[in-house]
């Protein structure tokens, strides 16, 4: 899933080399921390949060098999 988040983010931003994803795994929760260049945060969020909500929806669909809750956080 980490690679999926990273690939989607790289396609959305102007500076793909600045994209990094950190996976923090807990008991029943997996947190993905997404870091992008400051100028690209708006592109990840999208108009009214549509892009980031779409990424979260994809993650929730993929995580259904693992029965873990997935959280995506944008880090500045």
pTM over 0.85: yes
- Which residues are 34's β-sheet partners? 21, 74
Cβ neighbours for 43, distance < 8 A, ≥ 6 positions apart: 12, 13, 14, 36, 51
Tens of pLDDT along 7-61? 999 999 999 999 999 999 998 999 999 999 999 999 999 999 999 999 999 999 9
Domains along the chain with CATH numbers = 2-75 (3.30.300.20)
Above 90 in pLDDT, residue 76? no
């Amino acid at each position: 899933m980490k690679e999926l988040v990273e690939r989607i983010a790289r396609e959305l931003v102007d500076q793909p080399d600045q994209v990094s994803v950190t996976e923090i795994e807990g008991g029943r929760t997996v947190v993905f921390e997404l870091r992008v260049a400051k100028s690209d945060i708006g592109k990840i969020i999208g108009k009214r949060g549509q892009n980031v909500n779409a990424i979260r929806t994809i993650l929730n669909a993929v995580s259904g098999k693992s029965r873990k809750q997935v959280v995506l956080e944008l880090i500045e």
